[in-house]
């Protein structure tokens, strides 16, 4: 049974050639640019007539891997650029980058503290007094 254009073999894919897929990808990005809409993988999948999971599966096929990676990189680049320019919702951008692009927060622990935690207050004296007045 076919599910959203994907069977697991190339003969069942909606897009059978790199050229067909690239034409659909280019049309999506062009439409977004013309309408000043943000790029999304879900939007790309919808434009291609497949679901997001199927789009990711196209990237698992050697035939389409480069095209899907480039499209995904383009979406990621726009997310980063918009975040740096203060556009969009910061929480959503962080969530998206962590869950769809492998970003993560790093916490480095050196093991030299021997169970001690030192909190360093780097607030200027005026800010520290204001903070203490609040609490």
Question: Tell me: the pLDDT tens digits for 46-98?
Answer: 999 999 999 999 999 999 999 999 999 999 999 999 999 999 899 999 998 98
Residue 47 lies in a domain: yes
Residue 110 lies in a domain: no
Residue 109 lies in a domain: no
Strand partners of residue 3: 6
- Residue 104: pLDDT above 60? yes
Residue 74 lies in a domain: yes
Q: Is this prediction's pTM over 0.85?
A: no
Residue 119 lies in a domain: no
Q: What is the pLDDT of residue 123?
A: 53
Residue 112 lies in a domain: no
Average pLDDT, the chain: 82
Residue 37 lies in a domain: yes
Domains held by the chain: number: 1
Distance CA 113, CA 82 (A): 39
Q: Up-side HSE of residue 46: CA atoms within 13 Å toward CB?
A: 7
Q: What is the largest CA-CA distance in the chain?
A: 70
Residue 56 lies in a domain: yes
- Residue 33: pLDDT above 90? yes
- H or E element: which one contains 72? helix 65-84
Give the range of the structural domain holding residue 28, as residue numbers without chain letter: 10-101
């Amino acid at each position: 049974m076919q599910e959203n254009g994907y069977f697991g073999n190339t003969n069942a894919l909606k897009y059978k050639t790199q050229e067909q897929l690239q034409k659909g990808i280019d049309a999506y990005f062009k439409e977004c640019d013309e309408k000043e809409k943000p790029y999304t993988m879900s939007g790309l999948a919808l434009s291609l007539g497949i679901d997001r999971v199927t789009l990711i599966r196209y990237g698992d096929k050697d035939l389409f891997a480069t095209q899907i990676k480039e499209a995904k990189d383009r979406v990621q680049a726009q997310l980063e650029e918009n975040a740096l320019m203060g556009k969009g919702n910061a929480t959503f951008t962080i969530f998206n980058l962590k869950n769809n692009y492998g970003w993560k927060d790093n916490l480095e622990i050196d093991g030299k503290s021997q169970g001690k935690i030192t909190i360093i207050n780097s607030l200027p004296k005026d800010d520290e007094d204001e903070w203490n007045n609040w609490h």
